[in-house]
Chain A
Amino acid sequence: MQAKLRSILVDLAWPVLITIAMLASWEIAVRVLGIRSIILPPPSEVFEAIIARRELLLTHLWPSLYLTVLGFALSVVGGVLVAILITYSTIVRKGFYPVIVVSQVIPKISIAPLFIVWFGTGTMSSLLLAVLIAFFPMTINAAMGFQTIDEDIHRMARTFMGSRWQIFWKIRMPNALPYIFGGMKISITLAIIGVIVSEFVASQEGIGYLIKLAGGLLDTPLMMAAITMLSISGLALYGLIVIAEEHAVYWQAPSDIGAGGGG
């Protein structure tokens, strides 16, 4: 346990150092070059803005996070269910699946204004846009996970008289888990984008709205404070998924991807 904690700290050391170095050079550059904070506030000023206007930031952050998490959850549940349909229904697999895949070339953000025409300005549009763009990667990943089971494993289960139901729960489901988590990591990021974009175009609240509003007021420190809060929240959500994944997909060997030597 101690060794694990140590290795996590060692892994974190470099990224943290580099982030600090970048923030420091940003701070110094802004001061030395005398850039006005309306153009680019130094990190210290962004930090001040976060502290000073935390209430305003939080009032707008919560609805966005709520919609993001809700949209994400709907996408995951819906995506997994549709993936199961794709796996077990020939009609869905042969008919709808190709359509779903091809429809991915549509830049879904461009549909946002259309959603406002249909569902008005407000939470419904935001939620639906989040689901629209977070849903498909989830579906496609999960469908892949349910379908790419090892032929030998399938044959083994059948010789030991496994039923379709047993094969689903005991083989397809665990097999799909790594894929589902891969899909979740894409979906959470997309759900955030969906919510923020729809708040840009049509909303009276939310962090996306606040960013737009601050932009209009040329309050750059507030804008950057909002972006910072949003990024931290996004990172936290992503981190939660990674932690859940490590527990759920316990059987995969911890891999150390990368071509670099050392260690």
Chain B
Amino acid sequence: MLRINSVRKLYKDLEVIRNVSFDVSDGEFLSLLGPSGCGKSTLLMMVTGLIEVSGGQISINGEAVSGPRREVGVVFQQPVLLPWRTVLDNVLFPIELLNLSRAQYKDRAMELLSMAKIDDFAHHLPRQLSGGMRQRASICRALIHDPSILLMDEPFSALDAITRDEMGVELLRIWQANRKTVIFVTHSIREAAFLSDRVLVMGRRPATIVDEVAIDLPRPRQIAMMEDEGFNRYVRRLRKAIEASHAS
């Protein structure tokens, strides 16, 4: 279990996050939904241990986070692939950094790539791939060392709307097969509602959690579901929560 307990963050005098607390249970898909600049990335980076908290604690399975950890995989807003490595070598990059055997993980890398439908491009360089394919490769990279927690910071925001929906479906397929704990940052209301078990709505800076919405929709979820009244009820509910936080 991942626990965020009364976390605060100050950049010099600028208070970015004020007293945020929530738990994420194992295997849960949680989204953080909030306006631009409210501190979502900052919160996520604190979970990775790259940024220190100014107050409160973050703990994983009871252990305080004080630096990057093996059981965490991260997908960034941009794919951030190394241009001089093939897709396969990019996916194996965390394995090298962890001083694990590349040979041992190669099959797993190919499996992940075929799950993400880019195995044909395993030996291509990133510049030969489309933006969506690169982001899929970066998801494979985040999963290669089998982390139990996957942190995703607006991973699809650079993609067009159609690719974005497709990527969401694929992400759910991969998640269903692996059952990681996921924290997914987005400012798309529909995306949050479509993907998550639970959505936390964050208010303007200094960020607090203004609302929490459990999404009780059946899985596996299909794109067609976005037409359903049940889905749209959640969308309206989330939109209201965001608007309320702006008004205050």
A residues neighboring B (CB under 8 Å): 150, 152-153, 155-163, 166, 170-171, 174, 250-253
Contact = CB atoms under 8 A, between A and B. Distances in A.
Contacts of A253: 127
A152 B76 contact: yes
B98 A174 contact: no
Tell me the dominant secondary structure on chain B's binding face.
Answer: loop
Tell me the dominant secondary structure on chain A's binding face.
Answer: helix
Given A158-B68, A159-B74, A170-B96, A153 B50 contact: no
A207 B155 CA distance: 61
Interface stretch (B18-26, B79-87, B169-177): B79-87
B161 interface: no
Nearest to B138: A156
B166 to A, nearest CB: 24
Contacts of B93: 157, 160, 170
A156 B72 CA distance: 12
Contacts of B48: 159
Contacts of B125: 251
B127 A251 contact: yes
A74 to B, nearest CB: 27
Nearest to A167: B97
A171 B97 contact: no
Nearest to B125: A251
Given A161-B97, A166-B97, A253-B127, A156 B74 contact: yes
B94 interface: yes
B59 interface: no
A161 B68 contact: yes
B70 interface: yes
A156 B98 CA distance: 13
B76 A161 contact: no
Contact of B82 (A155, A171, A250, A252): A171
Contacts of B76: 152, 155-156
A155 B50 contact: yes
